[in-house]
Amino acid sequence: MVADESLSADQVRQQIEYWLDLADYDLETAKAILASRRLLYVAFMCHQAIEKALKGVYTARRQAIPPKMHALVKLAQLSDIWNELTEDQQQWMIAMQPMNIESRYPAEKAKLLAALTVPECEQMTVAAAEMLQWIKQQLLNV
């Protein structure tokens, strides 16, 4: 399936379930990585969890396969959920957006690693869990 391919109601339901299952898995992975203190990848997996949840929203609201992109803000905007987020949620999403790129490229890894602390990553996983729960709640209203 390609982005913006129209889906049947059953396909939409299956795709939403697929994206949310992946989001849950990624968040649990972030928590497991936090326990091992591999902090760089905590940020990456929190980003991944929210990215996948947003792709579920895109699928629900557009009845289509989401685009292959990693930009959280853009996905939220394309999913028509950005304006439903609180200002704090928007700011958190903006702050999380670079975690996908910065954690994968060597030039950025050292800088990001130096900035991450255990308490910060603990808060990041809590905030990601809250965001994921909020997104799931929005999907109940679709």
Q: Residue 11: what pLDDT?
A: 94
Please identify every stretch of the chain with a pLDDT value under 50, giving residue numbers as ranges: none
Backbone angles phi, psi at 64, to 5 degrees: -150, 165
Q: Residue 5: what pLDDT?
A: 64
Q: Residue 99: what pLDDT?
A: 83
Q: Residue 137: what pLDDT?
A: 95
* Token pair recorded at residue 74: 């853009």
Q: Residue 106: what pLDDT?
A: 60
| 41, 103 Cβ separation under 8 angstroms | yes
Q: 9-140 belongs to which CATH class?
A: mainly alpha
Q: Residue 76: what pLDDT?
A: 97
The domain segmentation of the chain, as residue ranges, is 9-140
